[in-house]
């Protein structure tokens, strides 16, 4: 009887070892397939974005890509010991481009949404913004909230395919909506008096108000939506996701994040470098 029990214990131990070895082997294979290894072998970190989203990714007078995300991308590449390679990509095709391997990561002011999260993974949010309103001056005092704009007589603008457009359809559905290819076009429609209000992300509305909207618009700067921005990567890559989250934690702790925030979000000295 004792021999039988001993034999059974040995068999169970062997089976357990086999399964543990198989699981460990699977983990090793998963790690080998990580985007991290691809980046290190290539010697380049390819970052996808669309230039023009102030102040996260822009093109300066010399043709260089600058902004909050661009500085973060360069710092990430340095942390990995590789070259930073910016890949300027049209927004409406940026997720398919990531999925098909055109670049390694989206660092482009992308809002986390459940719909997007079904296709891609997001690292932890690095900043939280929301939708605000840049109002034509003629409506000053009459409109004090997004709720006041929920009327067909008001023409609202935003960029097509963005959370600004989604916010209009969800929170201001009765208003007349005009979508544009770029947020700049949508904003100028309001500044030029051809529309009543732009609904868009706080940083851009603030920038447009400060650079071209004073005296012509009113900036209702209290966000009426909650929108965390995050970097996006392909699904099935826990190692890259772990690296990014630890990298974010480190840069928040060592002062790098605060320096970027003060430079790009609070500061405005960079505006002179734009066309």
Least confident residue range of 3-7, 142-146, 266-270? 3-7
Do 237 and 216 fall into the same domain?
A: no
Inside any domain, residue 4: no
Q: Where are the alpha helices (DSSP H) in the chain?
A: 2-32, 35-42, 68-80, 94-99, 114-117, 163-171, 183-191, 202-208, 238-253, 256-260
- Find the mean pLDDT for residues 94-119: 96
Question: How much is the pTM?
Answer: 0.75
Do 41 and 175 fall into the same domain?
A: no
- Rounded Cα distance between 200 and 100, Å, is 29
Do 121 and 155 fall into the same domain?
A: no
Q: Is the pLDDT of residue 172 over 50?
A: yes
3-state secondary structure of 112: coil
| Structural domain harbouring 172 | 131-225
Domain count of the fold of the chain? 2
Which CATH number is 175's domain given? 3.40.190.10
Enter the DSSP assignment of 271: G
- Find the mean pLDDT for residues 98-125: 96
- pLDDT-derived band of residue 128, with 50, 70 and 90 as boundaries? confident
> Could you read off the pLDDT of 4-48 as tens digits, one per residue?
444 455 444 444 554 445 444 456 676 678 999 999 999 999 999
Query: What Å distances lie between residue 138 and 12, 103, 183, CA to CA?
Result: 80, 45, 21
3-state secondary structure of 72: helix
> Could you read off the pLDDT of 251-264 as tens digits, one per residue?
999 999 999 988 99
């Amino acid at each position: 009887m004792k021999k039988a029990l001993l034999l059974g214990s040995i068999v169970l131990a062997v089976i357990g070892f086999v399964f543990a070895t198989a699981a460990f082997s699977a983990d090793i294979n998963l790690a080998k397939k990580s985007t991290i290894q691809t980046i290190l072998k290539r010697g380049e970190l390819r970052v996808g974005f669309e230039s023009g989203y102030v102040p996260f990714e822009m093109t300066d007078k010399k043709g260089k890509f600058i902004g909050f995300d661009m500085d973060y991308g360069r710092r990430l590449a340095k942390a990995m010991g590789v070259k930073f390679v910016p890949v300027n990509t049209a927004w409406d095709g940026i997720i398919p481009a990531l999925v098909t391997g055109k670049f390694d990561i989206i660092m482009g002011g992308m809002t986390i949404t459940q719909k997007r999260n079904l296709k891609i993974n997001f690292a932890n949010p690095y900043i939280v913004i929301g939708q605000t309103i840049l109002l034509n001056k003629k409506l000053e005092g009459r409109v004090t909230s997004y709720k006041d704009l929920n009327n067909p007589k008001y023409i609202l603008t935003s960029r097509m395919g963005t959370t600004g457009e989604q916010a209009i359809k969800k929170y201001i559905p009765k208003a007349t909506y005009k979508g544009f290819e770029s947020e700049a076009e949508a904003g100028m429609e309001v500044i030029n008096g051809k529309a009543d209000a732009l609904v868009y992300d706080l940083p851009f509305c603030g920038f447009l108000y400060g650079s071209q909207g004073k005296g012509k618009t009113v900036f209702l700067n209290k966000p009426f939506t909650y929108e965390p921005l995050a970097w996006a990567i392909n699904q099935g890559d826990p190692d890259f996701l772990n690296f990014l989250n630890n990298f974010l934690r480190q840069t928040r702790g060592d002062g790098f994040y605060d320096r970027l925030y003060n430079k790009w979000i609070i500061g405005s000295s960079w505006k002179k470098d734009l066309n």
